[in-house]
Chains A and B, each alone.
Chain A
Amino acid sequence: MMFDDFHFASILVSTIRNAPVLIFAAMAGLFAERSGVVDLALEGKMLASAFVSAAVAFTTQNPWLGILAGVGVSVAIALLQGFVSITQKGNQLVAGIAINIAMSGLTFVLAQFFFSQGGRTPDLGQARLFDIVLPGTAALESIPFVGWFYGKLIGGHSALVYLAFALIPVVHWVIYHSRFGLRLRAVGENPHAADAAGINVERTRFLAMLCAGVLCSFSGAYLSIVQSGFFLRDMSAGNGYLALTALVFGNWRPLYTAMGCLMFGFFAALQVQIEGIVFPVIGKVPGSLIQMIPYVVTVIVLAGLMAKSVAPKAIGVPFVKSR
């Protein structure tokens, strides 16, 4: 292949298609972590939701029922995580890792048990979530750029893609301008002060976990019933951790976090495109090295070399009411 095969337009389109997985998960993590609970279990919730969504969508041949079931299981896991981290005051990091490992095993076992296809679900076929074709796409198709921009970049995605992008301003508003957001931030920064001000710390954190569970489930559902059309073992493939990284990158602020998600989505798209292409001067760039870029960038951000990322102050610390 030559340099000419490098399509910037298709990289942009795949960036839009890659980003929702990360946006949903990162916004889920944002609620949990802004309330002071480290959400290392994003990966496990995504996997559980991806499996249940695919299994239910296939069985009922209805993607919406699949999404609904995914929400249910993801919320259940988030509440279990809340029970361990908030009620039991256990180690939140350990709880998160434990849930990820358990779900990686359990989803495979159940997929194998129900469908006997080596730990994947059957192809969803018609039960896959369809792409929305915007009105007038056909009329504009022949016009250069505009046709592509309207039909491929803005249009032609599934409802979950639009939901993901619509979510960004909504989360921003909830976090910074709603009463719940104010409480959430107070509880995550200084739970004792919040407690003294009459805010129920444990209940606020549980509500945050509830939001995290709902949002994270969309991320898993997107993987299985939009992107691939089936559930595959460990298909979250580190996206949960990448979403957490986007949070660090975005300093736990919704708009910047979403930009981080888009950046990671861009690198993922770039990696697919760049594989095997011979560039002038530098030659071939291996995909595994491109894959490394987001992680290296994050380490640089963490080291405070680009910007200093400041986590919510009470993150990871169980709240013990002072007497």
Chain B
Amino acid sequence: MTNSELPRWATAIALPLLNLLSALLVAALVIYLLGESPIESLGILVNSAVLNPEGLGYTLFYAATFIFTGLSVSIAMQAGLFNIGSEGQMYVGGLGLTLVLLLLDSSLPGWLLIPLAIVGSAIFGAAWAYLPGYLQAKRGSHIVVTTIMFNFIAASLMNFLIVTYLIPTGQQNPASRVFAEASWLPTLNKIFPILGETPLNISFILALIALAIYGIAVWRSAWGYQLRATGLNQHAAHYAGISISKTIIVAMLISGALAGLASVNSLMGSTHYLNLNFPAGAGFIGIAIALMGRQHPVGILLSSILFGALIQGGFDLSLEKPNIPTETFIFIQGLIILFCGAMENLYAPALARLLKRN
């Protein structure tokens, strides 16, 4: 394909930017048709999501969740697996964290409680990803279909568990009790008071560490080599002596654990209780982030911040412009996934021609 003829900067930066611009152009057209000015809307969006320090805090808060779901989808993609199940894995990960906190938050101090809860979220997330991984590796059941099924099963199961067991007696709201304050993650505005009242917390720093570990593990370790070899060509990897089924299962376990960790930011950093449908599509946004960021740590960071900004800016924009509800940004997310994920080579032939001429 023409894609391989292009220089690295073109495929890594120019094409994603052109695709992103196309998606935003379609979005601008829709905003125009809704009777609002796209330029004024963009101004409000940028101002409330990036320029205003409190808004920036919210943008980074959302980004922390997206980094984890983006990493979850990316690590599976490295092994050639399309994990659509991050949503369900994050949901069940939230259950793991909640169970640890409900059992122990009255007896343990924060420095012990918080790591235990984080481990709980990772273990439950990994466990939820294990079966789809196992079925793909050993029985050849397609991971896309099984993970979709597991999202639905997780939704029904969590609904059942929350409504039947976790609601405190006498409460109507489908949510667990509030966790003890010892488990609340320290917010970053204690260190940077300029951020104002934002829920941005230390899980953002955890997310940055996870990005670094991901980069090193995938490109600088023997295991990462096996992982990428499996993703690029299973047959070749098999003949090179790599155990395909083991690599697939381990990749899915890590993918699930990362998705589970995504629940830490929202539950321990913000709401402080488990509620119905708390992932709210973050797992699916992870797919967009992995695709747009080309499974690269820097790309994942940048696209997580972009999606965080779209959500934060979208909230403020919908308050000022009733014609542009926050759902507009669900539409824009879809467009970005379509342009950056599925039509990644849309401009490759044109760009190749342009470069050849010069």
List the interface of chain A (C-beta within 8 A of B). Answer: 38, 40, 84-85, 88-95, 97-106, 108-109, 112-113, 119, 233, 238, 241, 244-245, 248, 286, 288-289, 291-292, 295-296, 298-299, 302-304, 311
Instruction: Check B181 for interface membership: any CB of A closer than 8 A.
Output: no
Instruction: Check B333 for interface membership: any CB of A closer than 8 A.
Output: yes
Closest to A242 in B: B152
Instruction: Check B282 for interface membership: any CB of A closer than 8 A.
Output: no
Report yes or no: A288 in contact with B163, Cβ–Cβ below 8 A: yes
Chain B min CB distance to A284 (Å):
10
Most B-side CB within 10 Å, residue of A40, A97, A108:
A97
Cα distance, A40 to B148, chains bound together (Å): 11
Chain A min CB distance to B155 (Å):
9
Report yes or no: B160 in contact with A304, Cβ–Cβ below 8 A: no
Most B-side CB within 10 Å, residue of A99, A106, A119, A289:
A106
Report yes or no: A93 in contact with B82, Cβ–Cβ below 8 A: yes
A-binding segment of B89-97, B100-108, B121-129, B320-328? B320-328
Cα distance, A241 to B131, chains bound together (Å): 19
Neighbour of A94 across the interface among B156, B333, B342, CB < 8 A: B342
Report yes or no: A91 in contact with B325, Cβ–Cβ below 8 A: no
Which 4 interchain pairs have the tightest Cβ spacing? A102-B334, A105-B330, A105-B331, A101-B334
Cα distance, A248 to B332, chains bound together (Å): 31
Closest to A293 in B: B156
Indicate whether A97 sits within 8 Å of B139 (C-beta atoms), given known contacts A106-B331, A291-B156. Answer: no
Can you offer 26 A-B residue contacts whose CB atoms are under 8 A? A88-B342, A91-B342, A95-B338, A97-B337, A98-B335, A100-B334, A101-B281, A101-B331, A102-B330, A102-B331, A102-B338, A104-B327, A104-B330, A105-B329, A105-B333, A105-B334, A106-B30, A109-B331, A113-B34, A241-B148, A241-B152, A286-B164, A288-B159, A299-B146, A299-B149, A299-B153
Neighbouring B residues of A311 by C-beta, 8 Å: 142
Cα distance, A100 to B335, chains bound together (Å): 10
Cα distance, A304 to B142, chains bound together (Å): 11
Indicate whether A289 sits within 8 Å of B156 (C-beta atoms), given known contacts A94-B287, A303-B135. Answer: yes
Report yes or no: A84 in contact with B342, Cβ–Cβ below 8 A: yes
A-binding segment of B58-66, B200-208, B215-223, B343-351? B343-351
Q: How many A-B residue pairs have CB under 8 A?
A: 147
Neighbouring A residues of B145 by C-beta, 8 Å: 244-245, 248, 298, 302
What's the dominant secondary structure at chain A's contact region?
helix
Closest to A301 in B: B141
Cα distance, A81 to B32, chains bound together (Å): 25
Cα distance, A206 to B165, chains bound together (Å): 50
Neighbour of B323 across the interface among A40, A113, A248, A304, CB < 8 A: A113
Cα distance, A104 to B331, chains bound together (Å): 7
Report yes or no: B333 in contact with A90, Cβ–Cβ below 8 A: no
Neighbour of B341 across the interface among A89, A91, A296, CB < 8 A: A91
Closest to A291 in B: B156
Report yes or no: A119 in contact with B327, Cβ–Cβ below 8 A: yes
Contact residue range for chain B?
A: 35 or more
Neighbouring A residues of B253 by C-beta, 8 Å: none
Closest to B159 in A: A288
Neighbouring B residues of A106 by C-beta, 8 Å: 30, 331, 334
Closest to B164 in A: A286
Neighbouring B residues of A112 by C-beta, 8 Å: 325, 327
Chain B min CB distance to A74 (Å):
16
Cα distance, A295 to B323, chains bound together (Å): 38
Cα distance, A291 to B149, chains bound together (Å): 12
Most A-side CB within 10 Å, residue of B34, B335, B337, B343:
B343
Instruction: Check B157 for interface membership: any CB of A closer than 8 A.
Output: yes
Cα distance, A119 to B325, chains bound together (Å): 10
Report yes or no: B342 in contact with A101, Cβ–Cβ below 8 A: no
Neighbouring B residues of A291 by C-beta, 8 Å: 156
Neighbour of A93 across the interface among B144, B156, B159, B329, CB < 8 A: B144
Cα distance, A248 to B146, chains bound together (Å): 11
Chain B min CB distance to A292 (Å):
4
Report yes or no: B323 in contact with A104, Cβ–Cβ below 8 A: no
Indicate whether A288 sits within 8 Å of B153 (C-beta atoms), given known contacts A113-B34, A304-B141. Answer: no
Instruction: Check B84 for interface membership: any CB of A closer than 8 A.
Output: yes
Neighbour of B328 across the interface among A38, A95, A109, CB < 8 A: A109
Report yes or no: A102 in contact with B323, Cβ–Cβ below 8 A: no
Indicate whether A84 sits within 8 Å of B157 (C-beta atoms), given known contacts A295-B152, A303-B135. Answer: no
Instruction: Check B291 for interface membership: any CB of A closer than 8 A.
Output: yes
Neighbouring B residues of A40 by C-beta, 8 Å: 144
Cα distance, A295 to B157, chains bound together (Å): 12
Neighbouring A residues of B34 by C-beta, 8 Å: 109, 113
Instruction: Check B273 for interface membership: any CB of A closer than 8 A.
Output: no
Instruction: Check B284 for interface membership: any CB of A closer than 8 A.
Output: yes
Chain A min CB distance to B16 (Å):
14
Cα distance, A89 to B327, chains bound together (Å): 29
Q: A98-B334, A99-B338, A102-B330 are in contact. List 9 more A-B contacts (CB 8 A).
A: A98-B338, A98-B341, A99-B334, A101-B337, A102-B337, A245-B148, A245-B149, A292-B156, A303-B141
Closest to B157 in A: A292
Neighbouring A residues of B323 by C-beta, 8 Å: 113
Neighbouring B residues of A93 by C-beta, 8 Å: 82, 84, 144
Cα distance, A38 to B156, chains bound together (Å): 26
B154-179: contact bitstring with A at CB < 8 Å (1 yes, 0 no)? 00110110011000000000000000
